[in-house]
A and B are shown apart, each in its own frame.
Chain A
Amino acid sequence: MKRTPLFSAHQKLGAKLIEFGGWEMPVQYTSITDEHIAVRKAAGIFDISHMGEVSVSGPQAEAFLNQTLTNDIRKLEVGTAQYTLLCNARGGVNDDLYAYRIGKGEYLLIINASRIDADCCWLQTQLTAFNRPEGVVLQNISDAMGAVAVQGPRVIEFIDKISAGPAIGGTLVARPAQLKKNQVAKIQFAGAELWIARTGYTGEDGFEIVAPGEAIEAVWNKVLELGKPYGLKPCGLGARDTLRTEVCYPLYGHELDEQTTPIEAGVGYFVALDKDDFVGRAVLANQKANGVTRKLVAFKMTEKSAPPRPHYPIWSSGVKAAQIGEVTSGTQSPSLGIGIGLGYVPPEFAKPQTPIEIEIRGKRAPAVVVPKPIYSAHPNP
């Protein structure tokens, strides 16, 4: 199993470790519930160094990415970021990612840990087929980089102390707190250069920091020290999962895979049909125009029951009850104190208020389709 540059820091903090996408990662330090509540009420820091970084640069980088990714990369100013998807020709999702435009003709893709090899292979194949491959330099820099996410409503009160001076790249703010949602800046920190973006995966305001691997432990320790008076806690993948499930952000391998399209997953907003051809366009345009056969829905359990879990069958309700789908993510919601989940069902069952049932160990428990997000957090301004 691979380890991040923060592995010994996690051990020192007494983290419980698990395997995730080939990485040995902290699932929790004290308790998932405590860490979850810390992020909702105050602040938390997550090691996300397992995530991959791919640098795409050159005069044709923009054109290459615009025909490889679903969102319109031309809308990115230098120093901004967008959520986007890497699809196959069938419209299925190879990965979902964040694209940072860090300079003119310079992009950084933040990709899922479990997809680094697959994405790099796919991007290389696409580049070979691209009509101006000499204008693009593709570099997998995942092994050289570390990253942390600092999330929660109180992060804004201490994040500025991370940098000694104004931004030196990206969006040229005087201090990180001036970054708006999806803006990214390069700042100096203890002799290293970091990228700091106002993005996250928890539904709360916060930042994600990408730094050279050798600098990330100093960043981690600095944030722990700065955040402590504000209630910041180190948080594991357990809380990361419950936080993102409450706000209905998809997780690759659960809501998204190569057989699932962004339209089915409810992230069609990030598929730009008003641009030139891109991989998967024909299928996605057809689904946007004519509809899909299944949709990702959010649901809540309506009575006391065991929490729903991935792969539990979803049933329709009533006398003609039948199995209509499967849970992709499910947990006890630490914020709401009830079972919540996400899963795919035919469109006729996707409307909020539709009663459904979740089969838990052979018995069906009542649930109801609810609007997304399941829990309203305090988003980035």
Chain B
Amino acid sequence: MSNVPADLKYAKSHEWVRVAGEIATVGITDHAQHELTDVVFVELPELHKNLKAGDASAVVESVKTASDVYAPVSGEVTEVNKAVVDNPALVNTAPYETGWFYRIKLSNPSELKSLLGPEQYNAQISSAG
């Protein structure tokens, strides 16, 4: 079974969000990395780029395919994870820790309410099989 930490918010498109004050850290879920397997390349947004919720914000590539990673919330990119660019396998081995993608300064914190909680996300990935 996929790991779905209780302290995170989730997007239907399999990104997770960890909020600390006005900064949100974004990555892809354990379920997503398991579906992709063998992540070989990660492309992150430019620093200071303004993202709108739902924008294609990053790309994660497995051996087989390239997949978009969507911004779960709107705001300015304040930090990108260079470690995951250098070592894309971190997405597979530590999707919620060292495998994070970028940090964003929330421009519309009310968007967080429309994200899924851990139970809801768990239900989504369980029903999708």
Residues of chain A having any CB pair with chain B under 8 Å: 16, 27-28, 30-33, 36, 238, 241-242, 305-307, 309, 331-332, 334, 361
Contact = CB atoms under 8 A, between A and B. Distances in A.
A32 B64 contact: yes
Nearest to A363: B43
Contact of A28 (B37, B41, B61): B37
B40 interface: yes
Contact of B41 (A27, A30, A32, A307): A307
Contact of B64 (A306, A331, A361): A331
A241 B64 CA distance: 9
Contacts of B53: none
Contacts of B123: none
Chain B interface bracket (under 10, 10 to 19, 20 to 34, 35 or more): 10 to 19
B41 A361 contact: no
Given A307-B61, A331-B64, A334-B38, 7 more contacts: A16-B35, A241-B64, A242-B63, A306-B41, A307-B63, A309-B66, A332-B63
- In order of increasing CB-CB distance, the 10 nearest A-B pairs are A332-B40, A32-B63, A31-B37, A33-B38, A306-B41, A31-B38, A238-B64, A332-B63, A306-B61, A32-B38
Contacts of A307: 40-41, 61, 63, 66
Interface string B29-72: 00000010110110100000000000000010111111000000
B66 A331 contact: no
Contacts of B61: 306-307, 332
A196 B82 CA distance: 50
A99 B26 CA distance: 54
Contacts of B37: 28, 30-33
A332 B41 contact: yes
A309 B43 CA distance: 15
Contact of B59 (A16, A27, A361): A361
B63 A334 contact: yes
A331 B63 CA distance: 6
Contacts of A27: 64
Interface of B: 35, 37-38, 40-41, 43, 59, 61-66
A178 to B, nearest CB: 36
24 contacts: A31-B37, A31-B38, A32-B37, A32-B38, A32-B62, A32-B63, A32-B64, A33-B37, A33-B38, A33-B63, A242-B63, A306-B59, A306-B61, A306-B66, A307-B40, A307-B41, A307-B63, A309-B65, A309-B66, A331-B63, A331-B64, A332-B63, A334-B63, A361-B59
A336 to B, nearest CB: 12
* Residue among A16, A242, A307, A309 with the highest chain B CB neighbour number at 10 A: A307
A364 to B, nearest CB: 14
Contacts of B40: 307, 332
A306 B67 CA distance: 12
A30 B40 CA distance: 16
Given A31-B38, A32-B38, A33-B38, A306 B43 contact: yes
Nearest to A32: B63
A117 to B, nearest CB: 27
A28 B65 CA distance: 13
A361 B61 CA distance: 13
